[in-house]
Structure 1
Amino acid sequence: MTSDLSVFELRRNALGRLVYTGADGVAHEGITPVRAFPLSAPDEGLSLVATTGQELAWLPRLSEVPQPARQLLEQELAGREFMPVIRRLLSVSTFSTPSTWTVDTDRGPATLVLKVEEDIRRLPQRGHLLITSGHGIVFLVPDLTALDRHSKRLLERFL
């Protein structure tokens, strides 16, 4: 389902929820924007999904969505896609799992529990890692080679 970008309206209701009105004139409250490829191609492929799980619209490129609808989508996505970026690994409690890690992120210091080594996933982009904490928060290491020597040594024990 592809949407004609000129025939839909996107706004917030009084409760701050997104409301999508398509070419058919039907308003859908509480829609959720979902990126098809949030890490590898964040601008390509965005689905607008109803509360029932039905896809209401497919937007090939976020950059082609006219303002202010694009701004509303970007705000909503930013709230949903909370993913702290790890800048440094300060310490790990043990080199086996489960292990408690103390890290420095772009959002400040954090402590995470690595339950199993499989919670560290390599992404197709060279040097990218996703680390999922025991609480379900996903941390990003955008460039393994950019980490300091101490951080690399700690991380290499788990890779």
Structure 2
Amino acid sequence: MTDSSTNLPMTTTRFDLTRNPFGKLVLTDASGQVHEGVSPVRAFPIQAPDEGIALVSNDGREVGWIDRLTDLSPPLRALVEDELAGHEFMPEISAILDVSSYATPCTWSVETDRGATRFVLRGEEDIRRITTTSLLISDSHGIHFLIRDMQSMDKLSRKILDRFL
């Protein structure tokens, strides 16, 4: 959200957030204006997931801003985190257990923060480097898997990754 007089970003953490009977988030801003059906959107979902969260109305306008989730009271924070969890699905890979082949397409067996799973990697181009140590992997269904720090993974996982990078 920007201040129209200075055209600079405005920090808006003074608001009330509730759920309506249909389960949609309702934001009441500091001026008392009510915005029904707002959605939280992370500005930096991988590098800073708990910082810079916009609250966006149904028509795509930013109606609120959260600098840090820790700035919110526990009930407001729980509402925002619950809503984010319902919109986002990006399992984090902790270990690569096996690959069917080093040629693509191939099936990867991995351990994630949501349990063990298998997915098909179509090609090496579906592995994108986010930082020097983090990767984003897209499977054949368009699901994104995050490797936050490949240097902290076990030796087998790093060896498999080296073959594809």
Residue type at the aligned position of 1:141: I
Match of 1:75 among 77, 82, 87: 82
Q: Distance in 1 between matches of 2:154 and 2:11?
A: 45
Measure how far apart 1:106 and its partner are. Answer: 2.0
Corresponding position of 2:50:
43
Corresponding position of 2:13:
5
Corresponding position of 2:133:
127
TM-align CA RMSD? 1.8
Please show how residues 5-24 of structure 1 align to structure 2 within 5 Å: 5-6=13-14, 8-24=15-31
Question: Partner of 1:84: helix, strand, or coil?
Answer: coil
Query: Are positions 1:158 and 2:147 aligned together?
Result: no
Matched-pair contact (CA < 8 Å) for 2:12–2:65: no
Stretch deviating more after TM superposition (107-116 or 21-30): 21-30
Measure how far apart 1:18 and its partner are. Answer: 0.9
Q: Which runs of 5+ in 1 are unaligned?
A: none
How many pairs does the alignment contain?
Answer: 157
Query: Are positions 1:117 and 2:124 aligned together?
Result: yes
Query: Are positions 1:140 and 2:146 aligned together?
Result: yes
Residue type at the aligned position of 2:140: G
Residue type at the aligned position of 1:59: I
Corresponding position of 1:93:
100
Residue type at the aligned position of 1:62: L
Kindly, what percent of the aligned residue pairs are identical? 51
Stretch deviating more after TM superposition (22-31 or 52-61): 22-31
Question: Partner of 1:157: helix, strand, or coil?
Answer: helix
Q: Which runs of 5+ in 2 are unaligned?
A: 2-9
Cα deviations by residue, 1:24-66 (Å, 9 ceiling, x for unpaired): 4332222110111111122321100111111111222222223
Task: Give me the TM-score of the superposition, normalised by structure 2.
Answer: 0.84
Question: Partner of 2:65: helix, strand, or coil?
Answer: strand
Question: Partner of 1:10: helix, strand, or coil?
Answer: strand
Matched-pair contact (CA < 8 Å) for 1:5–1:66: no
